[in-house]
Chain A
Amino acid sequence: MEKFTRLTGRVAPLNRANVDTDQIIPKQFLKRIERTGFGEFAFFDWRYLEDGVPNPDFILNEARYQGASILVAGRNFGSGSSREHAPWALNEMGFRAIIAPSFADIFRNNCMQNGMVPIVLSQNQVDHIMGNALKGVGYEVTVDLEAQTVSDAEGFSASFEFDSFRRNSLMKGLDDIGITLQNSDAIDEFESARAARW
């Protein structure tokens, strides 16, 4: 897994609540058997017009948000299906951190399995970042996972909570399976205790 420690990047705003995983990556694109190749289909129904040209009315298509690596969105982001294709698609679109007032549980978990950082800030703090991203051109924030802060060059700074285990895995780029397998003995013991009982 790719490491994440600190990232300064352009912010792209998606000012909607309850953006579901069917929107992030519609089902017709779930048929690949690789982890890659989903980025161009992210937000497909919003992002493209009938004939496949980019929809000029979709905010993430605006020139000023190209190259953004941080997405700011409304509450309950990523609700719906467990498809990990959603974070894969966002990652490939270039987003490494997502800031929202709240996330759906499975989506949030899936992000952290892919080196991406879902950050919960208060509605006011999200509104502040959203407002700046909507207003200006090239608005950037810095996400510091070590310090657990989001800040900008104009003096805004907000701290966020983050699961200590996940934070450590993200900062070191560790994947869960390796860590769990350090407990192989405990799994073996658990299994033999059960086998004895049943």
Chain B
Amino acid sequence: MPKTMFEKIWDTHLVAEPEGEPAILYIDLHLVHEVTSPQAFEGLRLTGRKVRRPDLTISTVDHNVPTDETRTEVIKDPIARQQVEALRQNCTDFGVTLYDVDSSAQGIVHVIGPEQGYTQPGMTIVCGDSHTSTHGAFGSLAFGIGTSEVEHVLATQTLRQRTPKTMEVRFNGELPVGVSAKDMILATIGQMGTAGGTGHVIEYTGEAIRDLNMEGRMTICNMTIEGGARAGMIAPDDTTFKWMRGRKFVPQGDDFDAAAAEWSQIVTDDGAEYDTLVEIDCESLEPFISWGTNPGQVARVSESVPGPDDFDDPAEQESAERALEYMALDAGTAMQDIRLDRVFIGSCTNARLEDLRAAASIIQGKRVAEGVRAQVMPGSTLTKWAAEKEGISEIFKDAGFEWRESGCSMCLGMNPDILVPGERCASTSNRNFEGRQGKGGRTHLVSPEMAAAAAIAGHFVDVRDWD
């Protein structure tokens, strides 16, 4: 029987399916960070359990580390420090590899997994972080889990899961010039809603997906969770293998070719069926901007801020009303008339080298608008170094951007990088929830190109008209 890519990975990782219980799924790679793991390690200690496979467990500090030059010193915030120090202690006690602030391999957990070559096609990958879906861009099955499940994986190297449903999100047609992967996923969430994918694993297909580079594919899989789905995946192909070859933890030389030949089998068979189909017409896409307080509340750059009356559903109306109030926006305002105080280029959605290149190409030779504070937090230390070597950091600095160290930073504001109440930010991250970037802060989600152009103009502009 023809199988989907999801089914192939699922079936080869089934350890057992005890009668009436969720399946026991084997986990190939477990990524760990400082915020969602301390209670899990503590649980192991209390029960006298070990980490079953420390060799399949990798950790880093990303969520609350500072992004200024003080990062290798003692963290000033005593509670954040406690968390980072707890991770250090836990990794020592349980024999887990830690990429600490002074390591070249440090970075946002979803950036370093692929960058170091840990993330590979056909794998099952988990992390106590909802954006684990990012790793699906390589044709792996990657889930975000809670802390109790982190403990479960540490102790057993397995996860209990009921079989999810499958969904195909098919991008029809070619992507217009000036429209990016970020716009594809914002459009998708706008169309299906933030709960549209609930209970599903999504596979993204279509010509536009095949044409994307790996960074773009990661951006799309990353935001899958914003559509409510458990995991997003994209079939591995030559683009995938080319990107992976030579990375530190992938097979090397001929072994890589042999592995790639196997990996190319992990694709959906002709005739395999998904439970649900969503189609997106690429040709009609434009750059997208979020106007509200969830990632489904998006508009095209050519449009205006909608009003509650533009929605049929009473819950959506109420949600829009509340969002407009929080965002201090009037219905009918042109999206391009929204002025900004801050610009943030960073996060596991859009802070890889290609994202930084894309943003740099927009700002070259220009200056950040008066009154706008613009910052770049590269996704990993290696990314930062690569960008510096290429001269991209100079382009940002010359334009008046702050060039910082890597980490989650302003994506969730657990370190000192936050918005102050009322500040409005164009952000390349993935969540525009109330207070996400700081209490009272107002977040607009956009692509790196759109964020860069907005930094220069001081308000949103259509990058398709940029010169």
Residues of A that sit less than 8 Å from B by CB: 16-18, 20, 22-23, 26-28, 30-35, 45, 74-76, 79-84, 102, 104-106, 109-110, 113-114, 163-165, 175-177, 179-181, 183, 186-187, 190-191, 194
Q: Are B433 and A80 in contact (CB under 8 A)?
A: yes
Q: Which of B20, B156, B198 contacts A104 (CB 8 A)?
A: B198
B78 (CB) vs chain A CBs: closest residue: A31
A180 (CB) vs chain B CBs: closest residue: B156
CA distance A105 to B77 in the complex (A): 32
Q: Are A33 and B155 in contact (CB under 8 A)?
A: no
Q: Are A187 and B39 in contact (CB under 8 A)?
A: no
Q: Are B434 and A82 in contact (CB under 8 A)?
A: no
Q: B130 within 8 Å of A by Cβ?
A: yes
User: Which residues on the A side are within 8 Å of B157 (C-beta)?
Assistant: 187, 191
Q: Are A187 and B158 in contact (CB under 8 A)?
A: yes
CA distance A94 to B435 in the complex (A): 24
Q: Are A79 and B294 in contact (CB under 8 A)?
A: yes
Min Cβ gap A21→B in Å is 9
CA distance A81 to B79 in the complex (A): 20
Q: Are B39 and A45 in contact (CB under 8 A)?
A: no
Min Cβ gap A20→B in Å is 5
In the complex, the 7 A-B pairs of residues with the closest C-beta atoms, listed nearest first: A33-B38, A113-B148, A110-B146, A84-B146, A31-B79, A84-B147, A76-B195
Q: Are B439 and A26 in contact (CB under 8 A)?
A: yes
B90 (CB) vs chain A CBs: closest residue: A33
Q: Are A187 and B83 in contact (CB under 8 A)?
A: no
Q: Which of A32, A83, A105, A187 contacts B228 (CB 8 A)?
A: A105
Q: Are A45 and B26 in contact (CB under 8 A)?
A: no
User: Which residues on the A side are within 8 Å of B199 (C-beta)?
Assistant: 105
Q: Which of B80, B322, B434 contacts A31 (CB 8 A)?
A: B80
Q: B252 within 8 Å of A by Cβ?
A: no
User: Which residues on the A side are within 8 Å of B26 (C-beta)?
Assistant: 187, 190-191, 194
Q: Are B156 and A181 in contact (CB under 8 A)?
A: yes
Q: Are B148 and A18 in contact (CB under 8 A)?
A: no
User: Which residues on the B side are within 8 Å of A30 (C-beta)?
Assistant: 35, 63, 414
Q: Which of B155, B316, B322, B412 contacts A177 (CB 8 A)?
A: B155
Interface residues of B in 175-192 (CB under 8 A from A): none
- Counting chain B CB atoms within 10 Å of each CB, the highest count among A82, A187, A190 belongs to A82
Interface residues of B in 406-436 (CB under 8 A from A): 412-414, 431, 433-436
CA distance A26 to B26 in the complex (A): 32
Q: B106 within 8 Å of A by Cβ?
A: no
User: Which residues on the A side are within 8 Å of B219 (C-beta)?
Assistant: none
* Known A-B contacts A102-B198, A105-B198, A177-B49; A35 and B39 likewise in contact (beta carbons under 8 Å): yes
User: Which residues on the B side are within 8 Å of A176 (C-beta)?
Assistant: 148-149, 152, 160
User: Which residues on the B side are within 8 Å of A18 (C-beta)?
Assistant: 194-195, 294, 319
Q: Are A106 and B86 in contact (CB under 8 A)?
A: no
CA distance A183 to B82 in the complex (A): 36
* Known A-B contacts A102-B198, A176-B148; A22 and B414 likewise in contact (beta carbons under 8 Å): no
Interface residues of B in 22-66 (CB under 8 A from A): 22, 24, 26, 35-36, 38-39, 42, 47, 49, 63-64
Q: Are A45 and B144 in contact (CB under 8 A)?
A: no
User: Which residues on the B side are within 8 Å of A75 (C-beta)?
Assistant: 195, 315
Please give the number of chain B residues whose Cβ is less than 8 angstroms from any Cβ of chain A in the complex: 61
| B 361-387 binary contact with A (CB < 8 Å = 1; else 0) | 000000000000000000000000000
* Known A-B contacts A84-B36, A105-B198, A106-B144; A79 and B228 likewise in contact (beta carbons under 8 Å): yes
Q: B15 within 8 Å of A by Cβ?
A: yes
User: Which residues on the B side are within 8 Å of A109 (C-beta)?
Assistant: 145-146, 149
A and B contact pairs by CB, cutoff 8 A, 29 listed: A16-B318, A16-B322, A17-B319, A18-B194, A18-B319, A20-B431, A27-B413, A30-B414, A31-B77, A32-B79, A32-B83, A33-B86, A34-B42, A35-B42, A35-B147, A80-B130, A82-B146, A84-B146, A105-B228, A109-B145, A109-B149, A113-B146, A165-B20, A165-B160, A176-B149, A177-B152, A177-B155, A183-B16, A186-B16
Interface residues of B in 201-230 (CB under 8 A from A): 228, 230
Q: B346 within 8 Å of A by Cβ?
A: no
Q: Are A22 and B436 in contact (CB under 8 A)?
A: yes
Q: B128 within 8 Å of A by Cβ?
A: yes
Q: B286 within 8 Å of A by Cβ?
A: no
User: Which residues on the B side are within 8 Å of A165 (C-beta)?
Assistant: 20-22, 160
User: Which residues on the B side are within 8 Å of A186 (C-beta)?
Assistant: 15-16, 24
Q: Are B434 and A22 in contact (CB under 8 A)?
A: yes
Q: Are A180 and B318 in contact (CB under 8 A)?
A: no
Min Cβ gap A71→B in Å is 17
Q: Are A34 and B144 in contact (CB under 8 A)?
A: no
User: Which residues on the A side are within 8 Å of B155 (C-beta)?
Assistant: 177, 181
Q: B129 within 8 Å of A by Cβ?
A: yes
Q: Are A33 and B42 in contact (CB under 8 A)?
A: yes
Q: A33-B39, A84-B128, A191-B26 are in contact. List 17 more A-B contacts (CB 8 A).
A: A16-B318, A16-B322, A17-B316, A20-B433, A22-B436, A23-B435, A27-B436, A30-B63, A31-B35, A33-B38, A80-B130, A83-B35, A84-B36, A84-B146, A104-B198, A165-B20, A177-B49
CA distance A34 to B46 in the complex (A): 12
Q: B405 within 8 Å of A by Cβ?
A: no
Q: Are A106 and B318 in contact (CB under 8 A)?
A: no
Q: B247 within 8 Å of A by Cβ?
A: no
CA distance A32 to B37 in the complex (A): 11
Q: Are B156 and A177 in contact (CB under 8 A)?
A: yes
User: Which residues on the B side are within 8 Å of A45 (C-beta)?
Assistant: 434-435, 439
